[in-house]
Structure 1
Amino acid sequence: MGIPLQLEVDAGIKEATYVLEIEKEIPRAAKMNEPSFSLRSADEKGCALIYNPDKWHCVEFYFFEEYPTEFAEKRAGL
């Protein structure tokens, strides 16, 4: 279960064939700071931020038309 906090899409979202998923833990606090997107790319066709209040966890989704090599290389440590 999740609550969509932010959704940003452009007209090219229909052409997106790749999705990058990033999971983040949210530190427990009496007053939570609103989660935000951690990446930005000129090539993304859209992004969504989903919050799970039961687990203090959020997931970011980034949608791309082409394989996002800039992020794949960072993850692989290249």
Structure 2
Amino acid sequence: MNIQDIKNMTASERIQTMEAIWDSLIYENKDIETPAWHEEIIENRKKRIKSGNAQFISLSDLKTKYNKSILKMSIF
């Protein structure tokens, strides 16, 4: 499979493919380590929450923000 094959897929097919890949990684490769930078991000977020400097948004706002960012990136 190459990028052109992926571009020719419907959005639904791409999502199904991503889910299949993700499932294969989660359930078949239990020895995959989380990158150190993930831990750093989590620790920084915990510190912001504890200090009262964290900002939270609603799920609706998150979806809107995400959809706008996807439109800007528009890979396909």
Shorter-normalised TM-score: what interval?
under 0.3
TM-score computed with the length of structure 1 as normaliser: 0.23
TM-score computed with the length of structure 2 as normaliser: 0.24
Q: Which has the larger helix fraction?
A: 2
Q: Which has the larger strand fraction?
A: 1
Higher relative contact order (CA 8 A, sep 6+): 1
> Highest Rg: 1 or 2?
2
